[in-house]
Structure 1
Amino acid sequence: MSTIGNTLLPKLTDAESTTAFKPEHEHQIEVEEYITNHPLVKSLRANPAFSESRPHLRFSDAYRTTSLTAGVLSGPGRIVVPPIVFLDEEAKTMVMVCYLGDLVCGYPGFVHGGLLATLLDEGLGRCTFTALPNKVGMTANLNINYRAPTKAGQYIVMKAQVTKAEGRKAWADGRLETLPRAEGEKPVVLVEGSGLFVEPRQVKASIKFSS
């Protein structure tokens, strides 16, 4: 079987991934409960247009071990719990919620800009999967503007939208912003970006071979 068959093909469905995470640390339990009970998450779960998943948990342990965000940067003090992702396939929009700890800083107390770029890259790419023939894409171009310092130890929301699609190419815009803690509080835009994602020509053949 090919490498794609061993590591890249999903092992869990979207629905199964939503219940696969079992917090082991006190702070993880606290973060998980806060996200689960936040009004934004509740409203997205109540909206039938969105499907929910935890993409980092859909794949094999072998994949996660070598993954930057699902492996190396995952866990207490880092990306504390696996991000929750909501996708609207028809509207080609995505919302992601996560928590960034205090061990992912550049300047003390502030999240490293490279991690924010990585999250934006992953999120934009995942959003474009809704517009690509085999739901796989690689980054061809990424543009980022940092709008405000991102403090460590806070909840982050990413919102993305596919803006154009042509065959194996898809473009998306998105942003990272704070998750409001109180009713009426407006989110602060932290990072904005756009990207072009291209589905490799060999993907279709690879998927057929590994199935």
Structure 2
Amino acid sequence: MSLPRTTTTFTRLLTKRPPTHLIIPHTQIRTIKAGAASSAIESPSTLPSYHDRLDQPPTPPQSTLSTAEHLITTHPLVQSLRSNPSYKESRPHLHMKSSHRPNHFVAGTLSGANKVTVPPYMFTSIVNRKPSSSSSQEEGTTTKEGKESPRARLISVFHIGPQLCGHPGYVHGGLLSVMFDEAFARCVSDSFKSGLGMTANLNVDFRKPALPERVYVLKAETVKVEGRKAWVEGEMRSMPAPGSGEGEEGETVVAEARALFVEPKFAESMVPLYRN
């Protein structure tokens, strides 16, 4: 039985190929899409290279930076340390290799406006006691070769912004632990030949709530060195808020800590973090 004429015509329309001048190759479609996308993106030649961006330390907005820098550099303690020849000033995060900074927890992740607003200032003093034969064994200040291991005192000064809180209005206790760990590692580095120590144990006692938008002073001291082990203790104080009129009486001990660091046997294979 033959189909009606209208049905036959409709079938031909469905199966009829479009004119060749209307067919667009798939490669041409991809080219058109790529061209449209690239036109909406800034030309790569006008963008800074990846390495150029890494070479620049992360900096908060100028207003935040200038306020935090001013609070720290004008603090009487900092001015006193700068005039004390037994202390050496440094800012380790600024000397960190640019390729490592973005992936570093403190110098990268926690650094920025409203966080750890500026790279911490650190002041280090090396302490070398002359141990007697008895005291050296008791205090563990000598190496296996009988030479005294240098021990350091370190003072770190930094500013914490409002976005590192646990409960709104109170700095997260985990951040205080991290800042202890960071400063302690720098403190014990002078006691190890490789300059590297890894945290074996860290104990933090929280004394008072830590408030944001304050300058903090962390004092650490390596109290014992025994071979590849070094013990360090310290405390963290919150400085009075600007314009509060509290003076030195407004200083608050927010936490105390102690830790054991061990120089790893594979220290020579570890990637150095700092240029110096």
Q: Normalising by structure 1, what TM-score?
A: 0.83
Counterpart CA distance in 2 for 1:193 and 1:206 is 27
Matches within 5 A, 1:141-160: 141-160=201-220
* Bigger relative CO (Cα 8 Å, ≥ 6 apart): 1
Q: Which residue of 2 aligns with 1:48?
A: 85
What displacement does 1:122 show? 1.1
Question: Over aligned residue pairs, what C-alpha RMSD do you find?
Answer: 2.0
The gaps in structure 1 that reach 5 residues or longer are: 1-19
Counterpart CA distance in 2 for 1:61 and 1:153 is 28
Q: Which residue of 2 aligns with 1:195?
A: 259
- Per-residue deviation, residues 122-170 of structure 1 (Å, max 9, x unmatched): 1112111121222110000011110000011111110001110012110
Whether the 8 Å CA contact 2:59–2:65 is kept in 1: the answer is no
Quick one: which of 222, 227, 238 aligns to 1:167?
A: 227
Whether the 8 Å CA contact 2:60–2:112 is kept in 1: the answer is no
Q: Which residue of 2 aligns with 1:31?
A: 68
Whether the 8 Å CA contact 1:110–1:150 is kept in 2: the answer is yes
Whether the 8 Å CA contact 1:133–1:168 is kept in 2: the answer is no
Counterpart CA distance in 1 for 2:123 and 2:58 is 16
Whether the 8 Å CA contact 2:196–2:263 is kept in 1: the answer is yes
Whether the 8 Å CA contact 1:27–1:76 is kept in 2: the answer is yes
Q: Which residue of 2 aligns with 1:96?
A: 156
- Per-residue deviation, residues 8-29 of structure 1 (Å, max 9, x unmatched): xxxxxxxxxxxx8976420211
Q: Normalising by structure 2, what TM-score?
A: 0.64
Counterpart CA distance in 1 for 2:262 and 2:78 is 30
Matches within 5 A, 1:4-153: 24-90=61-127, 92-153=152-213
What's the secondary structure of 1:76's corresponding residue? coil
Identity percentage of aligned residues: 39
What displacement does 1:61 show? 2.0
What's the secondary structure of 1:185's corresponding residue? helix
The runs of at least 4 consecutive aligned structure 1 residues that moved more than 3 Å come to 20-24, 180-184, 204-208
Counterpart CA distance in 2 for 1:27 and 1:186 is 23
Whether the 8 Å CA contact 2:58–2:111 is kept in 1: the answer is no
Q: How many residues align?
A: 189
> Which range moves more in the overlay, 66-75 or 82-91?
82-91
Whether the 8 Å CA contact 1:94–1:159 is kept in 2: the answer is yes
